[in-house]
Structure 1
Amino acid sequence: MSPLISCQDLFELLTHRPTSQLVVDCSFDLVAPAAGWSAFQLGHIPGATYIHLENDLSAPRTGMNGRHPLPRLADFVAAMRARGANDGSLIVVYDNVDGRYAARLWWTIRWAGHAAVRVLDGGWRQWRESSLPFETGEPQERAPGNFSSRASLERVVEYEEVRANLDTQKALLLDARAWDRFRGRNETLDPVAGHITGAKNRPYRDNLKGDETFRDTSELRDEFEQLLAGRRPEDVIHQCGSGVTSCHNRLAMELSGLSGSAMYVGSWSEWCSRPGSPISVDEG
């Protein structure tokens, strides 16, 4: 099953099989954490519910675990149940930007062991530009679901494994941030600029066309294989600033048939908070 679903295909499902899926809006703004919920109330896909990046998809910060650490599995399961998710649900996720938050939710649902999850290609922008119906206000009341955790479908690596990889160079560390943040020229979210020593840059925006739908899978596969340079997909570790946009690269690789790469959720925001972490800044 493709990790993506088109707006038209979702509309058909909502029209003919309205109870077969759960649609979840996870729109967010890193500098205005309440903005996603406000945007949801102004307009959302009919029947959709809302989930919050920092309240539901992240654990509390300690100052040493990054800006969006993984939630406790039990807490995430409870959040999904509260929104009506069932073990048999097809869960369709979207956001109102470029898919970065939807990708984090897609990845987290798979981390909990639920395979039937898809990202709406083009998100809210494509839905509105397709002149499809929408609702306003708060989400509909729904009965709690029976969503449960199963064997994880995603692999997580921790700080220590990334640190050890600096010596072994077994895995390719891919940083999904924009090039200026990667090179240390522009940093507004974290206290230290630069990147993890040895990482390569793959800005997540390179996965998208101008309309914010995903590019052709053959093009994406060719580009990732060039970065892999003979490595297996399983030898890729994704990271970014805080474990959000890195999920977009993970999604793009899955879309391209390159499955099995891992996620360093703590990412740069955790790395730069740990004393002695090797840091590089590109000159020139």
Structure 2
Amino acid sequence: MTYATLISAADLAGHLDDANWLVIDCRHDLANPDAGAQAYAAGHIPRARFAHLDKILSGAKNGADGKFKGRHPLPERQAFIDAMQELGVGKGTQVVAYDAHGGMFAARLWWLLRWVGHVQVAVLDGGLPAWQAQGGELSTATPAPVRGDLQEQAPLVSTVDVGNVVANLDSKALTVIDARAADRYRGENETLDAVGGHIPGAKNRFFKDNLGADGRFKSADALRAEWNALIDSPQTAVMQCGSGVTACHNLLALEVAGLPGARLYPGSWSEWSSDSSRPVATGAQP
């Protein structure tokens, strides 16, 4: 069986020792970039490897033209594949990504692997808290990875760039969804980017609204109902956030809901707001 969206802690426990399974710890703290590695060293799911958001799951902040691409731009495809191979990901590896933050960072790895065509990747539903709640042990051992043979395949996901989003200001052909908290969307309490506000016309769907009170994803039916009330079609929907990370959580929720096809704007608000010629909206959504 292939897990391509979510996996429960109980199901992971039953496969933890399978040779073709690989668990990757994606814990991170935007305010303290060393926190994830420190947490991994203090205790992680047995046999798990660690993938740093800034070093593996993101690329250079400035493009070849010198333009700022956002705080967490996509890595170069081959560099990402090389990093995944180094961690032990092969063409047939079932990857399970987890964090301790409701999936906000694990979903980025899920999306990136789909970006290079790898379908066997899932997010641990409920993350590390769910693992520990069902009696899962932690380890401080760092396994020696055996290099995998992951190769790029046809991508399973797609993106838009800033030019597409600029053009949409007039065409309004796309529904842009902002995954940040409501206060940052409104332009309040902005601590990560120099300018507060949102892309004009964008709607707000805080990524944590995909989760229930237990920290796990809501049911497919519940997510489908909520998302259908927000977008006309996933094929014309674009997900963004502050830097293209938590937007992946909304993309994962759409997949869980059976609504595939939405696209990612990787640069997101951090790229958009870096150019003063682009308009900024503030306040609550209409």
User: TM-score, normalised to structure 2's length?
Assistant: 0.95
> What pairs up with 1:129-208 in 2 under 5 angstroms?
129-137=133-141, 139-208=142-211
Paired position in structure 1 for 2:68: 64
Write the distance in 2 (CA, Å) between the matches of 1:13 and 1:61: 37
SS at match of 2:24: strand
Q: Which runs of 4+ in 1 moved over 3 A?
A: none
SS at match of 2:143: coil
Candidates 63, 71, 84, aligned match of 1:80: 84
Opposite residue 225 of structure 1, the aligned amino acid is: N
Contact 1:172 1:235 in 2 (8 A): yes
> What pairs up with 1:60-139 in 2 under 5 angstroms?
60-62=60-62, 64-137=68-141, 139=142
Opposite residue 47 of structure 1, the aligned amino acid is: R
Paired position in structure 1 for 2:215: 212
Deviations 1:54-88 (A, max 9, x none): 00111121261100000000100010000011001
Structure 2 unaligned regions, length at least 5: none
Write the distance in 1 (CA, Å) between the matches of 2:247 and 2:188: 20
Higher helix proportion? 1
Write the distance in 1 (CA, Å) between the matches of 2:95 and 2:60: 25
Equivalent pairs, count: 279
Deviation at 1:20, TM superposition (A): 2.1
User: TM-score, normalised to structure 1's length?
Assistant: 0.96
Deviations 1:206-248 (A, max 9, x none): 00012210011111110100011xx221110000000011000
Deviations 1:235-262 (A, max 9, x none): 1000000001100000000000000000
Task: Name the % identity.
Answer: 44
CA shift in 2, pair 1:283/1:206, >3 Å: closer
Write the distance in 1 (CA, Å) between the matches of 2:68 and 2:53: 19
Deviation at 1:96, TM superposition (A): 1.7
Cα RMSD (Å) of the superposition? 1.3
Contact 1:2 1:255 in 2 (8 A): no
Write the distance in 2 (CA, Å) between the matches of 1:232 and 1:223: 13
Paired position in structure 2 for 1:31: 31
SS at match of 2:96: strand
Opposite residue 208 of structure 2, the aligned amino acid is: R
